[in-house]
Every structure is written in C-alpha cells, then in structure tokens.
Structure 1
C-alpha cells in the first residue's frame, strides 16, 4: 500500500488519523513462515533477502507464529538518521552474498516495521489500521537490527513540526479506520515531505528532449564554498510552468559561455555552461554526503539577489 502526497488532515479530522515518521530507505515486505527463516521482497516483487544478512535472525523472533510484515530498510548515519546514500551501497546485492556480508559489517541496516498484513494463519488486510497497529506492537519486535517505532494518534501539526525540527524526511498520515490495499496509492495514507529551501547559482543547463526540445530540461546549480569557489550541488529539472521554462531559456542563452564556472568541473555530459549570475531558490529533501541536493525542485528566480550577494554558501561540512 502506498501513500498519496498531500497535506495534514484538518483539525476537525485530526483525531481520526495516526502519524508516523516518513522513512528514507527501501520498502520491504517481510515474510516469516514460522520455521525460523525470513524472506524480504522489495516493492518490485524482487527478493532482496540476500542483500541484508543481518536481518536473517528476525526469522526466529516469533517462534512458530507465521506473519507477513510491512516496513522499510534503512541505513543510519552517525547521528542515527536515515541516509539513503549509505543504503545505496547495500542495495542490489541479493545475489552477491560475500560482498553483502562484508558491507553488513561496515554499514549495518535497520528495519523499521510499521504494519502487519498476516498473522497466525489469518489475513489482516481488511482489519482497520488501528487494530493492525495494535497487533503489530503486541509482537514486541525490537532488536539490534529492527524495531517498531510508535505512531502518534492525533496531534498531527505537532508531529510534523517535530520531524522538521529534527531534520527528518517527513510524516505519513494514516486514517485509523483504513484497510490495507496492496499496490494502491491510497488517500487513506498521506505523505508529507519536508522540503528545505536554499538559494543557488545557475552555472549551466542540459537541453530538454521531446516536447522540451529547444528548452532547458534541467539547470545545473551550485553554491559558494568558504574559499569562494562555485561548487556544483546538482541538477534541477522540475518546478517550472511552460511559460517560466521559456523565459528561463532566454536568460540562459543570453548568459552562455564556453567556460564551466564550477570548481571542480562536474562530470555532466552534454552541459551548456553559463556565466554564474542567475540566482534561484530551490526546494530539496536532504543532501547527500557529498553535498548534492536530493530531489531538488525549482521554486523561483531571485532577481533581487546578485550571485556575489547570495547567502547560499555551502554548509561547512561540504567545503574543501
């Protein structure tokens, strides 16, 4: 079951919803047949058990009680926050057990469980979320590599504010009376992603394709490091209306240059470079460990800011 992007339920409906932290990992359905084994499947249906050998011990946690659980596999950084870039090194290793074992020792994963679909021989898909959640919590599945974080009923505004204050990805709102709909992107589950916004300097663009031929498909943006270099922080390809994209194309053509303004030069094929004088504001979810923006989206041009005056300096940890 998938969540639909949206907003917090109204204050009048708040008590009818539960709120869970939105996780940034790999979704997994966990099959525990009750014989001590465990099988994990990704959203695609592919088996991914072999990629995460540290989760095999979960197979014995419920004894002979069979269950099917829903959750998310995470890799945590030194602050205990989900880091998708760390997880990417663990994904795709289901058929490389030796390498998966080596990486498990260096970058162990953690499985967050948030739903139960089948328990003790009976399906729970038509059981309301609130009762499924109670059954899941009664299993007390909390170990070194897995846990069952609590859900908050009501107090959605406070829950969302807490995720923002702690730098978490966002919130998932789940209606207490909702049934589980496999494969459906349902309005009974709403996801809210916390977007951060920062100023960036445009240093290049990539040509669009198809209906965007002749227009920028994405702009290449950077931010000033402490030593004044323009450091590349990513490509932004969404967030414009057709009119805005056409207007941006004219500005980019007027600023075109044959010299890349980024230092170091990013490995981007087919880029057109421009003089670094356009400032824009972008929204994004998080940064990679290398300082690149994840899931960036264009918000607006900032004609009120000159590139030299932009406050969009790179955070200290990404300098140098």
Structure 2
C-alpha cells in the first residue's frame, strides 16, 4: 500500500498549563533523540523519515523487524529514536555517531550490534487505510496502545493524564530532558508548530570561569561572539566545558568585551587546550552564571546560554563546590 507522507507535528516551548486546566492535558516524557515518522506499508518493510523528510532507515538496521509487527496492517506512526546509557536514559551523544550513517550501512550494522537504539512510539496518524489526523489525541492514543507495539528495540510508553506538576518534577528528579504537554482534544497537525503541544525543557545553572573568547561576525565584529568557559574543583586545572554565544543584550556584550580585553593573556588557561579557532585567551578571573540543559559524556554543557556576570564571587569561590568529574 502507498502511504501518505506526513510531516511530524511540532511542539511549542512554554510552561505547564494552568492548574484549573490540568485534567485536559496528557503528559509525556520529552526524549533527547532523533524524531522519526515510521511508515509500515504492511508488506514486512519499514521506512523511517527524519523531521526533514530524509529517509534514515539505513542508519538503524535493528528497527527493520518492526516492519512485521502489525502483520498486513499498514500504518504511519510518530516516535523518537533514542540511544540509552547504562541507566536507561536517553543520551544524545551516544546517538550522534548513528545519525550520519544513512550512506554507510555496513558501519551502521556494526554499531547496531554494539549499541542498538530504541524507538519510542507516541502517536499514530494513519492506520489500515484511514487517516487519523483529525481525531483527538485521546482517540489516537487509545488506537496506538491497542496496537501493542512492544519489542526488543521499540516500545509505547504510557502517557499521564493530569498531574502535570508531579510529572515535571519526576523528570527533573530522574535527570530527564523534560516534558511534553498534549491537549487531550487536539488533532494531529502535520508540519505545524502548535500550541496544542507544549514542550518544557529542564534547564540547570552553573557557575563558570571565562578563559577565552571568539570574535563575532557582521554587526558583532570587534565584540565577543562567544565566550569559552571552564570549571574546576578547588586546586585543579581549569577544564573546558563549552562555548557560550547567547544571553547578552548589546550593552552587556559591549561591557563584557572591555573586561575580556583587560584580562588578555597569551597563554591558554584550559588544560587540555580546546579546539577553538581564532580564540583569544584571558586570565580566568571573570565568573559567570550560565543556563544549560544537560552535560555530554565528556562534561561539556549542552545548549548553554549566559545568565549574568557573578561579580559577587571570586574565581576561588566559584570553584569550591564543583565536581571533579562531569555530572
């Protein structure tokens, strides 16, 4: 059967629905992976398309048996491809080596045998020749769960109706990326970033030492486009943890530029020295507070943004309570 192309529905960043409306929403864990629309023609084959529409099936050979999971019933499903760490949590860094292997099936097969991915399914948009996109979320969700799609490399986690605050706190307590809130009466809107789906990303903060900067371009010429930041436990070498390029107003960026020039040095303060083309090094005496989502396995901050300059802290005070190893 020829299945219709369906672009994935997208969530809008936001906050929890009002308490008075809590019972009108379902809550699902926000996963840190690669979005995939799954096409099951009912002939034993399977095709996975990324959010861009690219065919990514060859990158995940361990998911091919899913083609037989519904027998001859054709379907289009929505989900997320994950790579799980030793504690069963999604780790985007583990997934990255798999994402570019569409044209390298032999290598994809080797990595699949070593570190298989897991596909989380959370919606069904087409089933047995019928479009379900106009149906409310609740009916689509019931239909998805009735399919019984549980296998060695795929599953259909349950969704929680109501209790949004508790659900969000649970994701924070377990170190998960966040929460997706879905209105129970919402249709599936292909390709639309809709307010009927709200994503909430758990963000954390950390104090960092500024050890360098990279020049901006265009209107930012002569100003820092990004600062290079590090952390260390008391008495230890400064460990590079990332590049921060957002979070300033124009006035704050200009003020920071003056402080960076005053702290200029020829020696890189990081150990080991990071790969940072065009970097200008500074004495690590400026303390900043940054917001970030998670850390990579190497200890780098993911999605960092600048919050403020911590003039109330000395470099020694900022380092006093930092971990010796990445969190």
Aligned residue among 232, 249, 260 for 2:257: 249
Query: Contact conserved, 1:76 with 1:110, CA < 8 A, in 2?
Result: yes
Matching of residue 278 in structure 1 with residue 259 in structure 2: no
Matching of residue 199 in structure 1 with residue 207 in structure 2: yes
With the length of structure 2 as denominator, give the TM-score of the two structures.
Answer: 0.95
Aligned residue among 283, 289, 314 for 1:306: 314
Aligned residue among 79, 93, 100 for 2:87: 79
Aligned residue among 85, 90, 99 for 2:98: 90
2:61 corresponds in structure 1 to: 53
- The alpha carbon displacement at 1:105 in A equals 0.9
Spell out, residue by residue over 1:22-79, the C-alpha distance to the aligned partner (whole angstroms, 9 max, x if none): 0000000000000111000001111000100000000001001100000000000001
- The alpha carbon displacement at 1:318 in A equals 3.8
Query: Contact conserved, 2:122 with 2:156, CA < 8 A, in 1?
Result: yes
Aligned residue among 14, 18, 30 for 1:22: 30
Query: Contact conserved, 1:128 with 1:176, CA < 8 A, in 2?
Result: yes
Distance of 1:312 and 1:9 partners within structure 2: 38
1:8 corresponds in structure 2 to: 16
Aligned residue among 221, 226, 229 for 1:221: 229
Gaps of 5+ in 2: 1-8
Spell out, residue by residue over 1:205-257, the C-alpha distance to the aligned partner (whole angstroms, 9 max, x if none): 11111121121111000001465100000000111111211111111111111
Query: Contact conserved, 1:8 with 1:156, CA < 8 A, in 2?
Result: yes
Gaps of 5+ in 1: none
Matching of residue 163 in structure 1 with residue 180 in structure 2: no
- Which stretch shows the higher mean deviation, 1-10 or 208-217? 208-217
SS at match of 2:318: coil
Query: Contact conserved, 1:222 with 1:234, CA < 8 A, in 2?
Result: yes
Query: Contact conserved, 1:200 with 1:312, CA < 8 A, in 2?
Result: no
With the length of structure 1 as denominator, give the TM-score of the two structures.
Answer: 0.97
What aligned pairs does 1:121-270 form with structure 2 within 5 A after superposition? Answer: 121-225=129-233, 228-270=236-278
- The alpha carbon displacement at 1:316 in A equals 3.5
Distance of 2:150 and 2:320 partners within structure 1: 41
1:119 corresponds in structure 2 to: 127
Distance of 1:255 and 1:3 partners within structure 2: 43
